[in-house]
Every structure is written in C-alpha cells, then in structure tokens.
Amino acid sequence: MAQEITIEELERITGPKRVIDIRSREAFEKGTFPFAESIPLEELKPEIIAADTTIPVYLFCHTGRLSMDVADDLEDLGCEAYSVKGGYHSYLRRQLKRMMASGEEMTARRERAERSLIKKYRKQLWTPFIKALKEYRLIEDGDRIAVCISGGKDSMLMAKLFQELLRHGKRNFEAVFLVMNPGYNELNYSAVVENAKLLGIPIEVFRTEIFDIVAEQSDSPCYLCARMRRGSLYSKAKDLRCNKIALGHHYDDVIETILMGMLYGAQIQTMMPKLHSTNFDGMELIRPMYLIREKDIIRWRDYNDLHFIQCACRLTESCASCGGTEQGSKRGAVKDLIRTLTAQNPQIEKNIFRSVENVNLDTVIAYKQGRTRHHFLDSYV
C-alpha cells in the first residue's frame, strides 16, 4: 500500500526524486508543482516507470485520489511511490498563503507584476494589446467597459493591462472589473479574491447559481453553461451602465477555434475581435488580448510567481481535470494537433490565423451572410 506525502514534506526532500503530474497536459501547462514532469493518466505506463527502482516517485493529480491508485500500482511493481496528499489543490492553497504574507511584500509583488508588463514583457504583452485596440477599434471615447475576470491567468492579465492603460494611456473610457461567481468551490473563489487583492484589482463580485442549474442538465451542459455565463455578464454589465464587456480570449484561442469549426463543425468561422450582442441592445463584446500568445501569458505569470485558478467547472473538477479519466476535450485535441504541425513548420499558427483574413469568395462553394445563404451556382454562367 502506497503512502501519502504532504506538499510541505515533498518540498523539504533534497535527495533525488521524480515528481509526476498525472493530470491532463492542458492542466499541466496552466500550472504545476516545480520540477514536475507531465505524464497524463491515460499515457502513463506503470511498468516503465517502475523499471527504475533507484529513485522514489511522487505523483499528484488535482485532489490526490487518482494519484493514490497509481502509486499503489507502482508499489505492487516494487517501486517506491508516494501520492501527494490533496494534489495540486493543496499546492495552490499553500501558494496562496505565501502570496498573502505581508502588506509590504504584496505591494512589492504587485509593482513587479505591473513593471514587467511595460518593460520585460512589453514586446510580448503590452505592444500586441495596444495593437489590437487600434487595429480593431475596440475602445471608443466615452466607453464604459466591464472587464470580465474569471480568475484564470488570461483574464487577470487582461485586468492588469486595462489598469496600465488607464494609468499611462488616454483616459477616454471607464472600466469596471467584474467577477461573476457562478458557484465556485471555496478554494477557487478564495484564489480569485486573493489574487485580485495581491494585484491591486478593485473587483466587483456578483453571484449566480449557474453551476447548480447546469449540474442538473445531461445534454450539452458546457454549451448551456457558456451561454448562461455570457448572458449573466451582459446583464450585470448593463446594470452597471457599461456598453461593452471585455473577455480574455487570446491568439491561441482564435486559431484553435478556427480549426475546431472546420474539424468538428463543418464550417469556416473565427472568434471575432468584437461583435454586437444579439440579445442586449447597445452592448458589445471585445477581445483586447486577440494578438497575445498564450506562451507569453504563461511566462509573465511564472516570472511573477503567480498562481491562478484553472478550470473551475464543478462538473470537471472531479473527473477529467483530476488526472484524465476522459481522453480530453476537443479543444485539447486541436491544441495538440497545432503543436505537432508547428513543430514541423513554424508558420502554421500564423497561417491559420491569417486564413480567415484571406477568404477568396470566388473559390468558395457557398457562404452565409447574416441569414442569407449564397451558392456559387447563383451567379455561375
């Protein structure tokens, strides 16, 4: 029977050790234990890991449940194996406590995070942020924008970029930093609030019961959840006299969406940099991080030793995100495909992004504009 080990005990071990994160690769890329390697549960082969019995193995998932099962299998094969008690959740709790150590330290860390935006990562983050605002005309005089914060790395960075814009750019607009709590567990909600406090973001929080409602649905709960969350954000933003909501989708989200539409939806479409709401008159949605790469967001996060929530969905936090009891999402599969293709040709990502800017209607069988469908035979002579 394998033993459990706490995060504190693991950090004190100075000898050789192998730390394995058995969550999905997507979860691993969003945050993990220092020096951990990624071997998703569905790819893990106990007999290969147990072949080397000279180095103890420490495994973790999200909560410690699945990692204990794997540790037991390795022990049966003669390998010294341990499960990290509480998994990545326990590590996140510990990091949050460290972040909130003192007011003086918090101020220093906030200033470092802000300084790194316009100095160290100016080219990767600040410049493409400003370029998107100008190129797609995302902000206009008199706008009042609800900057929507889910608590993840993307939306938290977006909030800081807006703060810097208000400090150093033209103050021709107002911003409200809006957080919707759709029913987060205690850890995730605390992480959102504490990170906002650390980064000096004055959040406006409102509560909904979306997770409770969606949990009762068996058919397309993710689609329903997304629509309900978007509608709630629009509604609250309008109550706060905002005319726009800003979401933290980035460049990688855009190219993944293009491929997902083609491969799974049989359609060519993209995630637009801005669009009018169809259900809330006078409201618009903007995506100011449209030209920012996810890898650069991760670098900024790690440089500043920040720890944000990942997937906070109540339906997945006990299954796929806890080590991979499912084979992964469609977006995860497309992300892997793009990664593989880019390794062969570095221009792949840029080509996908630009493909929807270079559509030649003379070579398209059919297309829709609004509710009207056009076919090439309509004008073919």
pLDDT in tens, 109-126: 999 999 999 999 999 999
Strand partners, 59: 20, 83
pLDDT score recorded for residue 253: 95
Task: Give the pair of three-digit tokens for residue 196.
Answer: 């906002």
Q: Are 117 and 93 in contact (CB under 8 A)?
A: no
Is 94 in a helix, a strand, or coil?
helix
pLDDT score recorded for residue 218: 64
Strand 372-375 relative to strand 366-369: parallel, antiparallel, unpaired?
antiparallel
Q: What is the pTM of this model?
A: 0.75
Q: Are 10 and 86 in contact (CB under 8 A)?
A: no
Per run of 10 residues, the mean pLDDT along the chain (length 381 residues) is 87 89 87 88 91 90 91 91 91 74 79 95 97 97 96 95 89 93 85 92 92 71 80 94 97 96 94 95 97 96 88 50 46 91 96 95 92 93 84
End-to-end CA distance of the chain: 77
Q: How far apart are CA 40 and CA 44, in angstroms?
A: 6
Query: Which is nearest to 332 in space by CA: 23, 24, 21?
Result: 24
Strand partners, 18: 57
Task: Give the pair of three-digit tokens for residue 39.
Answer: 């071997």
Task: Give the pair of three-digit tokens for residue 135.
Answer: 């190129």
| Dihedral sign for Cα atoms in the order 158, 161, 166, 167 | positive
Strand partners, 339: none
Backbone φ and ψ of 238, nearest 5°? -65, -40
Q: Are 380 and 365 in contact (CB under 8 A)?
A: no
Count the Cβ atoms, other than its own, within 10 Å of residue 297.
25
pLDDT score recorded for residue 324: 35
Q: Are 53 and 353 in contact (CB under 8 A)?
A: no
Is 200 in a helix, a strand, or coil?
coil
Task: Give the pair of three-digit tokens for residue 131.
Answer: 């370029």
Task: Give the pair of three-digit tokens for residue 284.
Answer: 């618009």
